[in-house]
């Protein structure tokens, strides 16, 4: 990526997505190959008045070494430092920017999923306070993609195309319109688009829907909504009114349903990464909001990592129609193997934790009260794409009247 493009992208993320202000603390996470861009981000943040910028380099290769080699009795040994650090990040109000884009795609393929799941669970428990602060918008955060050579090579090979001489540059060329970096003022365009999504959410709220129905090849799913369910999309706000965009790019209009009222079957239309490995052709059967059966064409056992014992972590899930599929992601004709991007190509559901901002009144409830209202609490949150041009989404109001929401891959409202 040329320096000028990095600077434009950094300005977009720091100003429009994070809304960074003087005195903010910012941590930026990305794999080691993202280091040059992370330095540009840090420089941009300091020029905007950041108090501190911290760079974090999560390394899946090291995680694979750990899973393959650590002694069995230490698989679930997580230092108290992990929790203390997470608690400190919440107490000091650190904003967070995470860059997706892998240096070695598939490095966790074939790893012992049981050991990986056990380690991931105890680590999530240790960082639970931090996750909840982000899920409830008490902290500002954003996830955004950064192209890498290995990622680009994978995308084009999976599409049956010859690998470009410079796969990183070729992937960036595909991402430029998706990220709005081809616009004269990317930040203004992204914020304007967020306002359009927010207007759609208001129209969805006005319909007072009690349920959603997804119908298509291999999918016949009904998701019940709570009287507390609210449609959210575009930007989010912290309790003190700070505006931020949690995902870039985003086409999402989503809701947190009554997690006890999901019934039927959903078939995934795009692959998804679970515990670092690609799951393809996944399907889920829901009964009373609980996943009672599931399968996949590839890595069938991995979805089990998302389905812990109900007493510890209820299985009902958040779901809702997410985007009209005729945008730049859909038009690219590519599967990006990155849920951040692929989830915007079609509607999707999430297995795991719900968002408080999409469930009115949940901010003041404890976990027991939330569950009593049908709000799902969990240590996981993984998106699965179930939409395509063949999947119809219908809204049903309290009187049983039906209203098309997504038809032929596009929003109908």
With CA atoms as reference, report the closest residue to 387 among 351, 346, 350, 349: 346
> Which of 224, 314, 299 is CA-nearest to residue 264?
224
**Helices assigned H by DSSP within 48-180:** 60-69, 80-91, 113-126, 128-135, 149-158, 167-178
Question: Do 323 and 195 share a structural domain?
Answer: yes
Give a yes or no: residue 174 inside a domain: no
Does 175 reside within a domain? no
- Residue 101 domain-assigned (yes or no): yes
Give yes or no: residues 110 and 212 share one domain.
Answer: no
Query: 132 and 269, same structural domain?
Result: no
Last residue of a domain, one of 100, 131, 166: 166
228 found inside a domain: yes
Residues facing residue 214 across a β-bridge? 221, 393
Residues 149 and 198 in one domain: no
Q: What was the pLDDT predicted at 318?
A: 35
Provide the number of structural domains found in the chain. Answer: 2
For residues 250 and 146, membership in a common domain is answered with: no
Cα distance between residue 258 and residue 59, in whole Å: 37
Task: Please provide residue 253's backbone torsions phi and psi, each rounded to the nearest 5 degrees.
Answer: -125, 110
The reported pLDDT for the residue numbered 334 is: 85
Residues 209, 297 share a domain: yes
Model pLDDT, residue 307: 61
Given CA atoms 272, 277, 279, 280 in this order, what sign does their dihedral have?
Answer: positive
Residue 325's pLDDT is what? 43
Using an 8 Å Cβ cutoff, are 257 and 322 in contact? no
Query: Is there a single domain that holds both residue 107 and residue 72?
Result: yes
Q: Is residue 268 part of a domain?
A: yes
Residue 373 in tokens: 């209202």
What tens-digit pLDDT sequence spans the chain (413 residues)? 999 999 999 999 999 999 999 999 999 999 999 999 999 999 999 999 999 999 999 999 999 999 999 999 999 999 999 999 999 999 999 999 999 999 999 899 889 989 998 999 999 999 999 999 998 999 999 999 999 999 999 999 988 988 899 999 999 999 999 999 999 999 999 999 999 999 999 999 999 999 999 999 999 999 999 999 999 999 999 999 999 999 999 988 999 999 999 999 999 998 888 877 788 899 999 999 999 999 998 887 766 666 643 323 333 333 333 334 456 777 777 889 888 898 887 788 988 889 899 999 998 899 899 999 999 988 788 888 898 889 999 999 999 999 999 988 788 88
- With tokens 């599931």, the residue in question is 294
Separation of CA 121 from chain center: 18
Do 230 and 128 lie in a common domain? no
User: Could you read off the pLDDT of 25-39 as tens digits, one per residue?
Assistant: 999 999 999 999 999
Residues 138 and 217 both lie in one domain? no
Structural domain includes residue 181: no
Tokens standing for 232? 């959210």
CA distances from 339 to 101, 260, 279, 380 (A): 11, 25, 12, 15
Rounded CA-CA distance 362/369 in Å is 9
Q: Of 166, 195, 219, at which residue does a domain stop?
A: 166
67 contacts 119 by C-beta, under 8 angstroms: yes
Q: What is the pLDDT of residue 319?
A: 36
* Shared-domain flag, residues 56 and 89: yes
Task: Name the region of 208 (left: φ>0; alpha: ψ -120 to 50; beta: rest).
Answer: left
Q: Looking at residue 155, which CATH number applies to its domain?
A: 3.40.1830.10
Together in a domain, 66 and 134: yes
Do residues 111 and 276 lie in contact, with contact meaning Cβ atoms separated by under 8 Å?
yes
Structural domain including 27 reads: 3-166
In a domain, 105, yes or no: yes
Q: Do residues 147 and 224 share a domain? A: no
Does residue 179 belong to any structural domain of this protein? no
Domain finish residue from 111, 137, 166: 166
Query: What pTM was computed for the model?
Result: 0.86
């Amino acid at each position: 990526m040329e320096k000028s493009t990095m600077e434009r992208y950094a300005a977009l993320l720091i100003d429009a997505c994070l809304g960074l202000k003087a005195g903010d603390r910012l941590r930026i996470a990305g794999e080691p190959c993202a280091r040059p861009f992370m330095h540009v981000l840090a420089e941009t943040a300091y020029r905007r008045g950041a108090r501190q910028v911290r760079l974090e380099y999560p390394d899946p290769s090291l995680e694979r070494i750990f899973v393959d080699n650590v002694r069995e009795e230490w698989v679930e040994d997580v230092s108290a430092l992990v929790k203390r650090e997470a608690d400190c990040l919440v107490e000091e109000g650190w904003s967070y920017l995470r860059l997706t884009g892998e240096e070695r795609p598939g490095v966790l393929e074939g790893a012992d999923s049981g050991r990986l799941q056990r380690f991931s669970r105890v680590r999530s428990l240790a960082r639970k306070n931090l996750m909840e602060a982000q899920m409830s918008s008490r902290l500002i955060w954003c996830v955004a993609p950064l192209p890498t050579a290995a990622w680009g090579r994978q995308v084009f090979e999976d599409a049956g195309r010859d690998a470009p001489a410079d796969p990183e540059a070729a992937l960036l060329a595909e991402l430029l319109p998706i990220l709005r970096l081809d616009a004269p003022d990317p930040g203004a365009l992204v914020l304007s688009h967020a306002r359009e999504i927010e207007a759609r959410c208001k129209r969805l709220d006005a319909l007072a829907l009690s349920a959603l129905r997804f119908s298509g090849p291999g999918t016949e799913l009904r998701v019940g909504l709570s009287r507390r369910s609210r449609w959210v999309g575009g930007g989010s706000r912290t309790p003190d009114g700070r505006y931020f965009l949690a995902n870039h790019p985003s086409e999402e209009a989503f809701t947190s349903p009554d997690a006890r009222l999901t019934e039927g079957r959903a078939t995934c239309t795009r692959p998804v990464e679970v515990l670092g490995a690609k799951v393809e052709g996944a399907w889920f059967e829901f009964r009373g909001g609980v996943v009672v059966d599931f399968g996949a064409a590839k890595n069938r056992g991995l979805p089990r990592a998302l389905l812990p014992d109900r007493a510890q972590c209820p299985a009902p899930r958040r779901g809702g129609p997410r985007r009209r599929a005729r945008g730049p992601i859909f038009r690219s004709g590519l599967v990006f193997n990155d849920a951040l991007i692929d989830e915007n190509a079609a509607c999707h559901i999430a297995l795991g934790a719900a968002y408080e901002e999409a469930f009115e009144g949940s901010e003041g409830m404890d976990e027991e009260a939330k569950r009593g209202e049908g709000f799902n609490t969990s240590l996981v949150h993984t998106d699965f794409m179930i939409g395509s041009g063949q999947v119809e989404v219908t809204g049903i109001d309290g009187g049983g009247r039906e209203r098309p929401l997504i038809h032929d891959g596009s929003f109908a409202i």
